[in-house]
Chains A and B, each alone.
Chain A
């Protein structure tokens, strides 16, 4: 009976999120346009700049577009993670968050369900993007698309948890733009999404270290290896570790007696 209760709540939250996503067609298009612009415009200009060395998981020389594709899948998940937390700030302002949190189910479970819902949306976006990229000639071996699914779930949860943690610090919707600038962009640019680590190392050791330990880099590498049917153990452990840390902090953050909400409430 109790389990059923949990499942029913999870179903409700996930379906609400998917509904919201499908109803907001502009959001779906926007989520696709962003990485596609990067792929068709940005990457096209740098087509032949890579192809200087062969790096795993690739077994031969690749065009820049091929390199950047997993990074753009990561970008989709990063934006989606932030956007679903944006919607949590919105929910909080509108009062629907209260409805959710007064449910008798434990808070960590409700927040995890929210995360799962957000991840489900990002997985849909990622596969749609890869489908379009496939027509453009950026193809991975077919088994790669299967291995990608678990990788996308782990990376999506991790980036969603990060967004949730950030949203616990934010009192109002307007503040979120700052987070986008101070979190999303540095995270994206200081990662392996756009350039491989050896290339970053050539220009700056500091940047290299930042990129190496950036959880987003590891999420991207996890996606990149999975897409080519390979398993990157280090990236998986790093991503899972980051997920646990971010989620724990977010749960604390959303706890009214200890977390940031209480502090802000006072202020």
Chain B
């Protein structure tokens, strides 16, 4: 009796352990990285954490995003003044979207029907109907718009202008700017929390990350960063991401070569993780167990294990990696 019970426990343990091992294994996801200087797209295999291939695309590719069904990649080819549509399997360019001049960053709405593009030189946000492949409207915003985000509840589009130091709140129904919030110097990137209640905005020159309350459109917290052994002039926050359950947030701090780990409940910096040089943009893996960073100067991406908050590997990808997107 005891013997069979022991066997039972043993079998269960073995099954559990093998499952745990399976789950612990690296995910079979594909990481796409735009290479600003190589005019190319780098493809990295998540399982082996190795560069699989590099595909030539438009000139000076920067912003990148996947369609919600993961079948298409959108890449802002800045020097071609267009957003390229790339088939996510064959990696061939299958079309372009009229983005206006020098597109750098853009955001998709949660349904993948519309795209909002920042036109830095013209102080505009271009709204594109993706299915029709045409521009619906160009919305005037502040000087040098860059960071752009759509709230998951589809109620807001925000555009952050680097020189005006403002976040512009656009109503997606009327496509008009309905409110503005003054933020710290040179806002670069913005992201909504998954509940659409907060907006996180990084300020590159001020060296801060600000959290805004969406209802009141007021700043509720300004986070500063201090890293032992790193000069304050190197604290230049850019990319920002918050996980689905709003437990942790991550900020790429540019030439400080660190990603700040932020407790998204307390809104406090928890740790700094060392990655490659001039880290700018971040992307979660689909299951949010990993975070990928593009390191523009060291020409690589770093892979962060989010369960342990450890950088596990850095992979050389090509010159000036800029944007990153992950397909399951």
Contacts and interface: CB of A to CB of B under 8 A. Distances in A.
A60 B229 contact: no
Contact of B302 (A45, A48, A61, A63): A61
B155 to A, nearest CB: 39
B314 A47 contact: no
A150 interface: no
A256 interface: no
B22 interface: no
A47 B228 CA distance: 8
B295 to A, nearest CB: 9
A186 interface: no
Interface residues of A, number: 11
A10 to B, nearest CB: 40
A190 B57 CA distance: 48
A48 B231 CA distance: 11
Interface string A31-49: 0000000000000110110
Contact of B276 (A44, A47, A61, A63): A61
A44 B228 CA distance: 9
B223 interface: no
Interface string B194-231: 00000000000000000000000000000000001110
B274 interface: yes
Given A51-B257, A51-B274, A60 B313 contact: yes
- Mostly helix, strand, loop or mixed at chain A's interface? loop
A137 to B, nearest CB: 9
A174 interface: no
Contacts of A54: 300, 314
Contacts, number: 33
Contacts of B303: 60
Contact of B274 (A45, A59, A61): A61
A62 interface: yes
Nearest to A66: B274
B314 A60 contact: yes
Interface residues of B, number: 15
Contact of B312 (A44, A47, A48, A59): A59
Contacts of B229: 44-45, 47-48
Contacts of A47: 228-229
Contact of B311 (A44, A45, A48, A61): A61
Interface string A195-213: 0000000000000000000
Contacts of B314: 54, 59-61
B183 interface: no
B214 to A, nearest CB: 36
Given A51-B274, A54-B314, A60 B228 contact: no
Instruction: Give the residue among A47, A51, A60, A63 with the most B Cβ atoms within 10 A.
Output: A60
Nearest to B311: A60
A130 to B, nearest CB: 17
A60 B312 CA distance: 7
B302 A60 contact: yes
A48 B255 CA distance: 12
Given A51-B274, A54-B314, A61 B228 contact: no
A32 B197 CA distance: 52
B257 A59 contact: no
Contacts of A51: 257, 274
Contacts of A48: 229-230, 257
B108 interface: no
A59 B229 CA distance: 22
B312 A63 contact: no
B275 interface: yes
A61 B312 contact: no
Interface string A13-43: 0000000000000000000000000000000
A59 to B, nearest CB: 4
A51 B303 CA distance: 15
A47 to B, nearest CB: 4
A145 B313 CA distance: 20
Contacts of B275: 60-61
B274 A62 contact: yes
A37 B230 CA distance: 22
Interface string A47-81: 11001001000011111000000000000000000
A60 B293 CA distance: 12
A65 to B, nearest CB: 10
B170 to A, nearest CB: 39
B304 to A, nearest CB: 9
Given A47-B229, A48-B230, A51-B274, A61 B257 contact: yes
Contacts of A62: 274
Given A60-B312, A63-B274, 16 more contacts: A44-B228, A47-B228, A48-B229, A48-B257, A59-B312, A59-B314, A60-B274, A60-B303, A60-B311, A60-B313, A60-B314, A61-B276, A61-B298, A61-B302, A61-B314, A62-B274
Q: What 8 pairs across the A-B complex have the smallest Cβ distances?
A: A47-B229, A60-B314, A59-B313, A48-B229, A60-B311, A61-B274, A60-B313, A54-B314
19 contacts: A44-B228, A44-B229, A47-B229, A48-B229, A48-B230, A48-B257, A60-B274, A60-B275, A60-B303, A60-B312, A60-B313, A60-B314, A61-B257, A61-B298, A61-B302, A61-B311, A61-B314, A62-B274, A63-B274
Interface of B: 228-230, 257, 274-276, 298, 300, 302-303, 311-314
